[in-house]
Structure 1
Amino acid sequence: MKPAASSGRRTGAGTTWMAWSLERPPIAPHNRAMRAPARPDNEADRLSDLYDYGILDTPAERVFDEIAALAATVCGTPYAALTLIDGERQWFKASFGISLRETGRDESICGHAILERELFEVPDTCKDARFNDNLLLAGPPEIRFYGGSQLTSARGNNIGMLCVLDGRPRELTPAQRVALDQLANVVMAVLEASKGSRLQSWLGTLFDRIAEEVFITDPDTLRFLHVNATAQHALGYSLQQLRRMTPMDVTADRRRADFEGYVRQLRAGAANVVFEGTRRRSDGVHYPVEVRWQLLETGGRPVVMSIVQDISERKQVDRMKDEFISVVNHELRTPLTSIHGAVKLLQQGAGGPMPAAAARLVTLAADNTDRLRRIVDDILHLEQIASGKMEFNLEPLDAARVLDQLAHGYETAAAAVGVALAVLAPENLRLTADPQRLHQVMANLVSNAIKFAPRDSRVLLEAAPAGAGRVRLSVTDAGPGIPDHFRERIFQRFAQADMDSRRTKGGSGLGLSIAKQMTEHMGGSIGYESRPGHTCFHVTFPEVSP
């Protein structure tokens, strides 16, 4: 079929092309997917070079638009494009005569073209087995001709193509081939020349998008050198205003001497300095922050980078927690203690003889007030540890005596559920710990073991040298074991496993979390091994030399 003539008329700044129309052979219905291009052996290096140019997903630029238009004019084609081949896509930096932003890499001719070292030309896509079944080339606009020159990085990796396209079969002249190669070289020269500024612009964009306030400060004058957009928005100042300011201008509770002291700590070798303070906005509003300072060397000029996080929500949570602890301590613990004392007196007969039904109710009340008291104590202990108010007085302790006292204290409770307690500990084995806190830790482990040990079984309390100057205390039971799904959170607050048992387990789910924190505050460690029929919790502490 004879092609219709093209008017090629230009309108305004762009060009309107009346594409050649040729009858395209039908695509076979059983084979409609184009052959995907292979990935080159240098794919990792190729992508690294591409990303180094910082060109992907950037706005249109006139220089590249003009090069694409010039390529089309020189080669006499209605379409041209400057494409970059990313991992899974073909992205268009510039185009002429067509409007595309990106397509899949596997459907692109350019994906094949970057595999070659010389100009890549397809005179008729309908007669090329690689492309004759590509629906994308069927249009609109229909693509029958492709010619492209590789965009090659300084390391020799092809990152994309400068290509020209036509709706009719054709070939480039030798002069057009040379011109297309030269224009591709111009593209790479522009990319190389702007590489540093593009990278700087990209890093600046990332810097501004960081959620925390970030400041770059001169350690000598304390003036801000640069501030990200988050900080500008939070404080209500422009970058130009902040560059004339110092941390003292935006901090309500710190003096210059404080900040100079932080700089001295950093110069003395501190990895970072962390402190809390109160930020002051331009409108006078104050808000609490956590500030982290770090000294960085930048080409011989040290700077302080400070990352500032708004902790208003954290402070609100802390206030709510303090109010809750106050309620627990004064509004719940005090009356609960009175109720518990009254119930115990009734159990001891202070109110006179009671019918059997009443006695059972009083016993039930006593058991539940005991449980509530333990939960309240756990909550208060957890708060004391977190706030640093709990004291730890370390002293030498005899391991055997510690375990004997525990066994004696839990003997009645264990016997009530058909469990025997046994102690295995050598003489003269001593460790360092706080006697009261160690008793709390071990009592929790023994109590848990009794809860889960089957009737007519034994719970073993054992002490032994652990090597490396450590003593190991362990509590072993023959219970069902710890479920796999629960093991990762066993030491978390309020963690409780769902395990079937003949007895109600109760508890707050705080015991093991408290035990772990107390153990670590005493210089110890806690762990466990568990399988069905065998669970062993153990703690280790520094050994006292004989």
Structure 2
Amino acid sequence: MKASYPIAENEFERLVDLADFDLDYTTLQDKFKDLTTLAAKVTGTDISLINLIDSYTQWTITNHGLDLQFMPREESVCQYTILENDSFEVKDLRNDERFAQQWYVAKDPQLRYYFGIPLKSSRGNSLGALCVLDTTLKELDPEKIEFLRIIAAEIVSRLNTIQEIRHLKQHASDLNESRKRVAHDIRGPLGGIISMAQLVTANGDSFKLKEILDFIELIQMSSKSLLELADEILVQDDKWKNQNGSSEEVFHQVKLKDTLEKLYAPQALVKGVHFSIATEASTELMPFSRNKVLQIVGNLISNAIKFTPQTGRVEVNTRLTREGSRNMLRLTVQDTGVGMSEEKVNHILNGQGQSSQGTNGESGYGFGLPLVKHLIDTLNGSLTIRSVPGNGTCFDVSLSQPRTN
């Protein structure tokens, strides 16, 4: 009988919180490696992992003692840790029916002991867990557990720092763009003011007092208009930031393809699903904002793999086009899976979750696709779904973006 897997009461808020960090799980190893090493040494355990858990997958962003990059969420122990306020311990994994048959217990490395601490964001949501494991039975004393709590707090602090650095980089980029716009937009009015001032200076003796006063009035009017223009530019700049967020980071299709292949090709390989990503050659190096793009397309790919049987296909296509003063990023994820009914498609488009099992019995949590819809809506994008039961599904995402070049 299929086990029942736990879901937090605030699961959707938790997933949104994790998505707001906008992390690329392939780039974090070096930033946290010292902390997993420290956790293992402090506790005297063979293994230490830092795991972040999204809708479908537990991502091991760095590890010590076990070469692990990901596992299906429903197979993990940390899925229980993120439900706890303080910690979660399993003294012998062999004697717990939730884990006794999992590969990491029944087969190599034959793990026995587990201790995990949830990684809580400033909003109080569990993003994942710091855990230590061992192939022998252990007993952690309170002092070692307190050390783990300190390390867990440092992990969250570094995640916050990574997010803040990204915000600061974008703010600096925004300021640079504002400087360029101001320099361009005020050049004409300022030139006119300078010309009028030079005219008065050079020919002042030949002008009557009234003419000079008229020139001064024109200069004042031009100066006032210049100030109003500067105010308008600043207001527009604030509106642009509010509409587009402050976490923009330049990306392009080739980099997106490389990241997605690193993250999801192993999952497809394990299930025996053919996975491919195609870019548009003419625009594949054209920059675009990566804001939430990995979270959106990643959830769609995970969902597609989950509902596609062995030897099936999951195909991703990316393209970027210029439309007026904007760029349009289009992402398509198409599979040859089980498909969906019109009713289920409507539930997704209405932001509602429906839990169901994948083609290999993978657990369904019902939050992945509603999360995608939520993220797309926050970016003022659009999502269309074409699906026929038994004949696969195609997700089309369109995201309008400001020019980045």
TM-score range, shorter chain: 0.3 to 0.5
Larger proportion of helix = 2
TM-score by length of 1: 0.33
Quick check: which has more Rg, 1 or 2? 1
TM-score by length of 2: 0.43
